[in-house]
Amino acid sequence: MPRELVVVGSLTDDELDSRFRRLVSGERQVLVIFLAHLAEFDRRRGHEPRSFPSLFEYCTKRLGLSEAEAYCRIRAARLIGDFPQAMGMLARGEIHLSALVRLSPHLTQANAEGLLVRASGKTRREVERIAAELEPFGPQADVVRALPPPPSGESGDFEGPRDDRQPELVVTAAPPDPPSPPDAPAQASQATVPNRLVRISFTASEHLLARIELAKGLLRHKYPVGRLEDVVGEAIESLLDARDPRRRIARKAARRRTHARKRGVRPSRSSRRIPQGVQDEVWSRDGGRCAFVARDGRRCEATEWLEFDHLLPWALGGCSDDPANIRLLCRTHNQHAARQVFGPRKG
- Sequential DSSP letters for 229-244: HHHHHHHHHHHHHHH-
Helix axes 67-82, 13-43, angle to 10 degrees: 70
Give 118's pLDDT tier (boundaries 50, 70, 90).
very high
- State pLDDT tens for residues 71-97: 999 999 999 888 999 999 999 999 999
Q: What is the pLDDT of residue 319?
A: 92
- Written as one letter, the residue type at 209 is L
pLDDT averaged over every residue in the chain: 82
Least confidently predicted of 208-217, 268-277, 309-318, 334-343: 268-277
- pLDDT single digits (tens) 173-198: 333 333 333 333 334 344 445 578 88
DSSP for 241-304 reads HHH-HHHHHHHHHHHHHHHHHHTTPPPPSS-SSPPHHHHHHHHHHHTTS---B-TTSPBP---S
| pLDDT digit string, tens, across residues 7-31 | 788 888 889 999 999 999 999 999 9
127-175 pLDDT per residue, tens = 998 998 887 665 667 788 888 776 655 444 433 333 333 333 343 333 3
Q: What is the DSSP letter of 311?
A: S
Neighbour-count burial for 309-323, b at 16+ CB within 10 Å, e otherwise: bbeeeeeeeebbeeb
Predicted structure pTM score: 0.57
Strands 168-171, 198-201: parallel, antiparallel or unpaired by DSSP?
unpaired
Q: How far is CA 48 from the centre of its chain?
A: 40
24, 90 contact by CB (below 8 A): no
